[in-house]
Amino acid sequence: MLCAAYAVQWTLIVAWLVFHPRISDAQRRACLPIYGNAAISAPSEPFVSIVIPSRNEARNIADCVETALAQRGVALEVIIVNDRSTDDTGAIAERAAARDARCRVIHNQMLPHGWMGKSHACSLGARQARGEWLLFLDADVRLSETAVASAVSYAQRERLDAFSLWPRDGSVGFWEKLLVPLCGAMIVLCYGRAALRSRGRRAFANGQFLLLQRTIYDAFGGHARVRTALIEDVALATAAAADGFEVGSSLGVELVRVRMYGGLREVVRGWRRIYVGVLRPAELAGCLLWLLIGSLAPMVVAAICAARLNGGARDAWTPAWMIGAAAHLFALFSVSVRFFGMPKCDRRYLLLYPLSVLGVMVIVAAALWARLTPARVSWRGDAYRVHGGSIQARDTT
């Protein structure tokens, strides 16, 4: 029994170390800024329609639109879809449109039956878009001046039909910095190499910055095809890949910055919703097991072994387990330092890693329960009855 457990310990160490070449691959594939139009393969500036679905985004929309309109190296239009907002989003968007003719606003007041709110807003914007490329952008995104041109150039060079960026982490405050990076790591753990490139099988995309060729978007059915998906970006990528189109994503930390959620309540609700929408029950259970055995266990083992050695234990297994725990912790933190560094997370919070693990376990467990039972998921003022990662109906109670 002890031999089997010891073998599991070293298997976990190897599993951690396998992430090093994957991190190196992700860094090598990063989308970097371009300067000027020389790096754009098209003979003229590509025309990009930036669609920003916005529901109650008064705190974000002005800065998002400002950075979108400041893009260099592309011709563009910005379409803000004010989706049933009850705050000042619409008024702020109208002021932005009044200052720049490239910007216009769609005011939507209804959500058809069977549609997820964000997907419907994106679909409305896409219908009025004139660009050869569609860029769906969340309102909490901030762009560098060449972000769009760099993404188009990368997609052309890599022959991608759909392309998304992993942004720089813009977390503010204790709970966001503690939980958001490890929450994101669970997605990478489950999607593996599909998070970088996929065709004809399960695929990944990040809807914060999602770029598609217009003809491809229309060919596979766009947001209408995934109207019931709780999380539309992965569903879009999967639909495109299933139809044989090339789907990819890469690091874009020098191009895009995002503060996903404001405070603990939004972090918990937001990541629970994401997990329910994109991870299967077996994957959620696997995440819990990985967090428990792969992350917390070596710390517990090291503490127990240290106490036993300090108490004068002379058996052969205690030093062996201590060496294994030390190797496990080295592998864990060597990977975590690099992984947290990719999106420029605050790596000082790795000092509180056990607390991060416990917090993420609570979120994952809540998502697993929601996947196994009919659940209610609410976001941005809408509530849905959800089963199996898809909405069944809006919950108006």
Identify whether 268 is part of a domain. Answer: no
pLDDT of residue 236: 95
Q: What is the mean pLDDT of residues 257-270?
A: 94
pLDDT at 299: 94
- Mean pLDDT in residue range 375-393: 79
Whether 14 and 41 share a structural domain: no
C-alpha 306/C-alpha 236 separation (Å) is 50
Residue 380 domain-assigned?
Answer: yes
**In which band, very low, low, confident or very high, does the pLDDT at 37 lie, cut at 50, 70 and 90?**
very low
- Per the structure, the complete domain to which residue 367 belongs is given by 2-21+280-394
Q: Indicate whether 200 belongs to any domain.
A: no
**Contact 249/166 with Cβ under 8 angstroms?**
yes
pLDDT score, position 213? 96
Closest CA to 142 of 48, 34, 52, 63: 63
pLDDT for 41: 47
Do 248 and 340 fall within a single domain? no
Amino acid 2: pLDDT:
67
Residue 275 lies in a domain: no
CATH classification at residue 65: 3.90.550.10
Residue 149 pLDDT exceeds 80? yes
How far from each other are the two terminal CA atoms of the chain, in whole angstroms? 53
Tokens encoding 87:
């705050």
Q: Is the alpha carbon torsion for 352, 353, 358, 361 positive or negative?
A: positive
More confident residue, 261 or 377: 261
Which pLDDT score, from 0 to 100, does residue 45 have?
85
How high is the pLDDT of residue 43?
52
pLDDT at site 375: 82
* 154 and 300 together in one domain: no
Q: Are residues 71 and 10 in the same domain?
A: no
Residue 195 falls inside a structural domain: no
Judge if 103 and 211 occupy the same domain. Answer: yes
What's the pLDDT at 397? Answer: 58
In this structure, the answer to whether residues 318 and 257 fall within a common structural domain is: no
pLDDT for the residue 350: 96
At 120-145, the pLDDT tens digits run 999 999 999 999 999 999 999 999 99
Q: Are residues 57 and 102 in the same domain?
A: yes
Q: Summarize pLDDT for 281-340 with one digit per residue, the tens.
A: 999 999 999 999 999 999 999 999 889 888 877 787 788 889 999 999 999 999 999 999
Compute the mean pLDDT over every residue in the chain, rounded to the nearest whole number. Answer: 92
Query: Is 109 part of a structural domain of the chain?
Result: yes
**Is the residue at 184 inside a domain?**
no
One domain, residues 110 and 144: yes
Residues 149 and 296 in one domain: no
Instruction: Report pTM.
Output: 0.92
Question: What pLDDT was estimated at residue 1?
Answer: 67
Q: What is the pLDDT of residue 198?
A: 73
Q: Domain for residue 274, yes or no?
A: no
pLDDT at 314: 73
Residue 43 sits in the same domain as residue 112: yes
pLDDT digits (tens, 9 = 90+) for 7-34: 888 899 999 999 999 999 999 999 999 8
pLDDT at 110: 94
Task: Please give the average per-residue pLDDT across 168-190, as a whole number.
Answer: 95
- 147 and 252 part of one domain: yes
Q: What is the pLDDT of residue 39?
A: 47
Domain co-membership, 235 together with 321: no
Residue 77 scores a pLDDT above 50: yes
Residue 287, pLDDT score: 97
Rounded CA separation 32/248 (Å): 15
Calculate what percentage of the chain has a pLDDT beyond 90. Answer: 80
- Number of compact structural domains in the chain: 2
pLDDT for position 81: 98
